[in-house]
Chain A
Amino acid sequence: MNKLTTLSYFIFLLPFLGFIINGLFLKQSHKKLAGFLSVALNGAAALIAIYLAFNYFQSGVAPGRMILWQKDFLSFAPSLIASVGLLLDPLSAMMLVVITFISFAVHIYSIGYMKEDRSTTRFFSFLSLFTFSMLSLVVAPNLFQTFFFWELVGISSYLLIGFWYEKPAAVSASKQAFILTRFADSFFLLGIILVSFIIGSFDFYDLNTLSLSSLLGEINLGIITITKAKALFVASILIFIGGWGKSAMFPMHIWLPNAMEGPTPVSSIIHSATMVVAGVYLVARLFPFFSLFSDTLHLIMVVGIFTAVFAAVIACTQKDIKRILAYSTLSQLGYMMFALGSTSVIIEGQAAINTLGYSASVFHIFTHAFFKCMLFLIAGSLIHAVHSNDLDQMGGLGRKMPWTYAATLIGCLAISGIPPFSGFFSKDEILIATLEGKHFIVFGLALFTSGLTAFYMFRLFFLAFHGNMRSPHASHIKESFSMTFPIVMLAIPSFLGGYLFKKVFLKFYLPGYLPASDLFSSSISVHWVPFAASLVAIIGIVFAWVSYGRPYANVKKALDETNRNQFYKWIYHKFYFDEIYYAFVRQFIFRGFSAFVRFFEDYVIGGAVKGSVFIIKKAGELVRESQSGFTPFYLGTLVVGLLLWRFLGNLPV
């Protein structure tokens, strides 16, 4: 136990050390050193995380909670103390392994990808900071620490998305990401305040083990007095809004595709293990709390399924390879969200919680992280090879990049949910969970999305790797070791992860602390769902092959976005959401609110400042004028002063 505690410190210290050393002590010219240092530190952290998780599951405590250390940090009141600590339970153990492993892979990849960049050291430093903050976020035993590192994750993603700060698009994308998530975070903070006010604790344990009796009674919130149940319901919605923005659910989704302006390794780590998963993680972490309010769960489900379908539809038409993957991430995050939301079931008029949805969602976080990270790294390799994000410029790369080709095939099959690849198992469980909860519309939409997913992933696959070469750089494309190795390394869990870990997830990943009477686990197993899901995915793949993959497919026509009907254009332009946001921000915020603020700033605050400056300046001039520098003047004043003092100063004569 003590050994584990000591080791657990190192998981955070190592990435943080990477941040400090790279950020402060290495010059920009120490590229190799910076890269190898970060890789070594993060590799060590990954090993420790795996060891820790292994020991945790072996120890017999699982699926219970284990606090390795905890210290008081801020005490707001004697009864309300925010502490920092390390909480180990199945969820955080899984996240620790996923984050460190993926961060390790991305660091290796970055050595190759950022080789020609002029500030590689800064990049590695930020990447380590990102890893550090996400690691500290997932092991937080209380809401306060979560929020603390939640913001740090936001800041490091801001730094990384805007890494190429000389690119205006990157700068605006980073600002957009920061402001949008910050907007959502303010609701999260309100939720935390409300919850801590009502319950008197930040601790997840207290939140997740709320007894029904604590929901009774009324509470005075200063302005209004409402029942505690209602206040906590509002708080649960507010906290969910935090996760809503962080996970880029509709309509706060636009920052995620735009964040593609950052370097590809950043997109990879944001999309798989760090930034966006934090939202889903938060809902999963507080799941027993959320499950007290079936309306909140419904909201989560509706938001999730809508985002899943919406993003999948957009992904089908995009030409930028990273944007396709970004929308696919949105869609998969939607899957995780609605899996968590669809856990509320009604049996015989009684609300209950279906545990399968929870474990399926967490399982999907796990499998999705590996193949999505890999797909992004592949996208980076392709971009590196053809110097363009555009599918127009790719095609026929399969022959040049055999390892990448094989890995992409694994990744695409995994995300489409074809057995026995990892995505199949988790997706399958999500579908079964929705069906068991009798959410038939959600089930239908999820199945449809699954087909769309297969379609757009194989669209990407065929367009990038099959057909004729359309790139002018085709002649000197080759795979480099540091960029191919992490891809191959991630292909293994993408392939086997689902099969190997399904039992673990079904056994340990239950929403703990809920009274057993509220839990529901279906006795009827739905045998036809896996077949249906695979069939839909195969139909999607066939569609993709017919349109883009077969030898006579008219790729040029398929990629043309101008001569299209109105409907296609709508989708291609992402339903004009960027434009709507732009117009809203411009008309309503810039012209309306900001103009008022500016007026206030200019005339009220600025006026006060300018007025006081004017007075001080005038007074200063007055004093300065008397200091003429003429010695006789000083002497004269001296004499006159003495005389005045003598005769008017009531001196004794």
Chain B
Amino acid sequence: MTLLNCLLLSFILFGIGIFGLLRRRHLVAMLISIEIMLNAANMNFITFAYFSAEDSSAGAVFNLFVIAVTACEMAIALAIVVSMYRRRHSLDVNELRSLHE
């Protein structure tokens, strides 16, 4: 377990997240991709805290905060998704173009 390995893992996670965000058309899938990207960032936090910080617990505490905030965010995002589904009976992103017309 070296610093490089850990960073590579978080980089891969981030790439997967971006790929999913751009590629998937389903809103929930896109939310999951965003979640993956967030976790990649968290991963980075922990890694640097573990390998470089004097007190590694500080990074871990920060991480907990981020997870809490993300949970709130996701709750709102899911609420939007639900109401959008009720309204349009579809969660295909490519059909959500009413601002364009």
Which residues of A are in contact with B by a Cβ distance under 8 Å? 627-632, 635-636, 639
Contact = CB atoms under 8 A, between A and B. Distances in A.
B100 A628 contact: yes
B100 A631 contact: no
Contacts of A630: 93-94, 97
B23 A632 contact: yes
A635 B19 CA distance: 11
B1 interface: no
Interface string B26-59: 0000000000000000000000000000000000
Contacts of A635: 21-22
B22 A639 contact: yes
A632 B98 CA distance: 15
B76 to A, nearest CB: 17
A342 B21 CA distance: 100
B99 interface: yes
Given A632-B23, A632-B93, A627 B100 contact: yes
B98 to A, nearest CB: 8
Contact of A629 (B23, B25, B100): B100
A620 to B, nearest CB: 14
B74 interface: no
Nearest to A624: B100
A632 B99 contact: no
Nearest to A628: B100
B36 to A, nearest CB: 14
A297 B28 CA distance: 97
Nearest to A629: B100
B93 to A, nearest CB: 5
A560 B93 CA distance: 88
Contacts of B100: 627-629
Contacts of A632: 21-23, 25, 93-94
B96 interface: yes
Nearest to B100: A629
Contacts of B23: 632
A631 B18 contact: no
Given A630-B97, A631-B96, 6 more contacts: A627-B100, A629-B98, A629-B100, A630-B93, A632-B22, A635-B21
Contacts of B22: 632, 635-636, 639
Contacts of A639: 18, 22
A68 to B, nearest CB: 68
A628 B98 CA distance: 10
A629 B97 CA distance: 5
Interface string B11-25: 000000010011101
A630 B97 CA distance: 7
A13 B101 CA distance: 57
